[in-house]
Structure 1
Amino acid sequence: MRPQSLAGQAAFAPANTADIADAMIAASGLRVEVDRRRGRGAGLNPSGRFEPTQRETFDDGWQTLEELPPFKTDVQIEKPRTAITRNESPDLSFDRSINPYRGCEHGCIYCFARPTHAYMGLSAGLDFESKLFAKPDAPKLLERELAKPGYKVRVIAIGTNTDPYQPIEKEWRIMRQILEVLNKANHPVAIVTKSAMILRDLDILTEMAAKNIVRVGISVTTLDRKLARLMEPRASTPTRRLEAIRGLSGAGVRTSVMAAPIIPALNDHELERILDAAKAAGAEEASYVLLRLPLEVSPLFRDWLLQNYPDRYRHVMSLVRSMRGGKDYDAEFGKRMKGAGPYAWQIARRFEMAAKRLELTRRSLALRDDLFVPPNGSGVQLSLL
């Protein structure tokens, strides 16, 4: 009789975070088989940091691993109470944002949003890429919030956590519905994406651009198709992203390029080339962000680096730590985006010089907020007066 095991899983009490991180990288048995994670970014699927136990998959001698299914995209519906999320972070240019989805199918190994899946009791690894949550009520909730008396207009940022144009948007179309609400209300919005799918909504974006209530940032991490495939397995190719910049700018939509993240000794040498290519495609502005490795992202990225670029592992991580005070990450406001130290200073100066040469420096052209027209108040409790 076959033993009643957890499909080859074992539970053990968690040690400290550093020990777990090092163990995940050192023990090849923790890696999910290639056939089960084909087309995904992460090689690990550790338990969430809030879980009482950590689990690892192992071969118990009864071929249970052969029976485990591949990681397929599964989408559940999430019912939030509000559409707009607010923040008070001093180093962010916005105080409110919308996330149509939780988790991201793009599978970018460096994604700083991965640890948020722990709040759902899921892994920041493969779960983040395959167990997704859609918020189909977000457009209606947004309309209700915009109609509330006393609502103060500020630019809403979309795509700052997970990509609103990830593959499942093709079916769910939540982002398009959100844009329809914002366009009708003449509400300013700033969008960040690395997907050429944004061109699908060019009809709405063109209307919003004519009213100066929209701007778009396209993230271009590398021009190397092979590297992009390894780092961002389900995102648009670099060529398609440049085409998106060209299509948006050609339609009059204010478009910028985001060289993010900059990873030392891996893609930092491409910084000037990325800005050159984006400028040629029609980008008006540029920005960059240094690689961020908070919480579970660090062991996931380091495992990926060992698997794909073992010869560069020590050099990359040495440079990363030199910009983070000797740690994998420093979350201090003002430093987390750009880092510190000589190497970070060098990257900043290179970007500054290239952006100035290409006239991609940030402009002070603000989106209009004086055109706002509150929605009709559908679903809002009326006054008794």
Structure 2
Amino acid sequence: MLMSPEIPIDQARRRARGAVSNQAGRFDLARVEEADGWDIPELRPGIGTEVREEVARSAITFNRSPDLPFDRSLNAYRGCEHGCIYCFARPSHAYLGMSPGLDFETRLVAKPQVAEVLRRELSGKRYRVAPLALGTNTDPYQPVERDRGLTRAVLEVLAEFDHPVAIVTKGAMVERDLDILAPMAAKGLVRVGISVTTLEPGLARRMEPRAPVPARRLEAIRRLTQAGVPVRLMASPMVPALTDHELEAILEAGAEAGADAASGIMLRLPREVSELWQEWLAEHEPGRAARVMARLREMHGGRDYDPRWGHRMRGEGEYARLIAQRFRAAAKRLGLDRAVPPLRCDLFKVPPQKGDQLSLF
């Protein structure tokens, strides 16, 4: 069976979506495009969001990456409706037999039993506590969370166990869970990272079509910190020749909102993300496309992406060094470069479970 050439998706149908195309995943052996033989244009509805359910056999994923400050994470959802075109997690949808393009942001998978599975894993005799990261692959506060509440259910379990957690999000919905997060923060058990890629609302809407606008994310930082929850401003990803001129302004806005630390990562384009990103550039920023890609390749030895540990998130070369110097200088000036206290692990406990036999002593 032969694969047919890619058929462009009408722009009106993918309104408020990030990806331009929906090419087959790299594990698909065949793809069929059918036509009815008529040459009359057909009006088709917009592309809605579909949510499937998956039975989670495990909740915690462990990693040994030297680039990451944590060794375990949890994702209650696969795919992300925020639709950030640059998302490094898009290729993971190919493992599900779906496209890293529009499928990634419109065909989501939820794990409704994830909190119960997490409870079982934390209760295991062999479990050793360390900070758990939420939002490492897909955003825990994407729109589907409003109805599903899986992230909140996970936080309820973590709070019950006094388990430390680090959250990464663009979603202002994190404010909903302040009743859980604030008491955990008072114990030194939680830290939140909020990503701000640009302060320009128009550019943000094109790059991150269903994520809150930058001003709303800054307001979330303000509300979290006012409630005692420490927040890291994440200037990530920084896009060469597109958002890099905003670096200092983003850090200043985060500091003004109350962030006590900052971090930054350069744009990275693993696997299918490179083609998706270049399609997006051609449609939304054609005048800057060549310069953006030239800068990226300059940082990665002439390639779109360098997956080596220690290089993939920073790049190398003169331009990468300049960005790093600017970041360090701005962070120091704003007081965002100080070391933050580690999340506490000494409070962890396995609470009594239903059906446990009570001790006589």
**TM-score, normalised with respect to structure 2:** 0.95
1:190 to 166, 177, 193: 166
Alignment check: 8 A CA contact 1:194 1:241 kept: yes
| Displacement after TM superposition at 1:38 (Å) | 1.0
Q: Secondary structure at the match of 1:257?
A: strand
**Structure 1, residues 142-195: CA drift from partner, whole Å, max 9, x if none?**
000000012100000000110000000000000001000001110000000001
Partner residue in 1 for 2:28? 51
**Residues 174-185 of structure 1: pairs in structure 2 closer than 5 A:** 174-185=150-161
4+ residue stretches of structure 1 with deviation over 3 A? 11-14, 54-57, 375-380
Alignment check: 8 A CA contact 2:261 2:340 kept: no
CA shift in 2, pair 1:329/1:362, >3 Å: farther
* Distance across 1 between alignment mates of 2:178 and 2:39: 51
1:246 to 222, 225, 228: 222
Alignment check: 8 A CA contact 1:43 1:126 kept: yes
* Distance across 2 between alignment mates of 1:138 and 1:292: 29
RMSD: 1.8
| Displacement after TM superposition at 1:31 (Å) | 2.3
**Structure 1, residues 65-113: CA drift from partner, whole Å, max 9, x if none?**
7265431100000112010011111111100000010000000000000
Unaligned runs of 5+ in 2: 357-361
* Distance across 2 between alignment mates of 1:65 and 1:235: 32
* Distance across 1 between alignment mates of 2:288 and 2:94: 30
Unaligned runs of 5+ in 1: 1-10, 15-23, 381-385
Partner residue in 2 for 1:368? 344
CA shift in 2, pair 1:87/1:362, >3 Å: farther
Partner residue in 2 for 1:137? 113
* Distance across 1 between alignment mates of 2:39 and 2:175: 47
**TM-score, normalised with respect to structure 1:** 0.89
Partner residue in 2 for 1:103? 79
Residue 2 (structure 2) pairs with residue 12 (structure 1): yes
Partner residue in 1 for 2:56? 80
Q: Secondary structure at the match of 2:288?
A: helix
Alignment check: 8 A CA contact 2:161 2:350 kept: yes
**Structure 1, residues 6-60: CA drift from partner, whole Å, max 9, x if none?**
xxxxx7359xxxxxxxxx8xxxx63210122111000100000011125568x76
* Distance across 2 between alignment mates of 1:371 and 1:355: 32
AA aligned opposite 1:48 = G
2:46 to 36, 59, 70: 70
Partner residue in 1 for 2:17? 40
* Distance across 1 between alignment mates of 2:41 and 2:121: 48
Alignment check: 8 A CA contact 1:191 1:217 kept: yes
CA shift in 2, pair 1:50/1:213, >3 Å: same
* Distance across 2 between alignment mates of 1:379 and 1:117: 39
2:212 to 236, 244, 249: 236
| Displacement after TM superposition at 1:136 (Å) | 1.0
Number of residue pairs matched by the alignment? 356
Q: Secondary structure at the match of 2:235?
A: strand
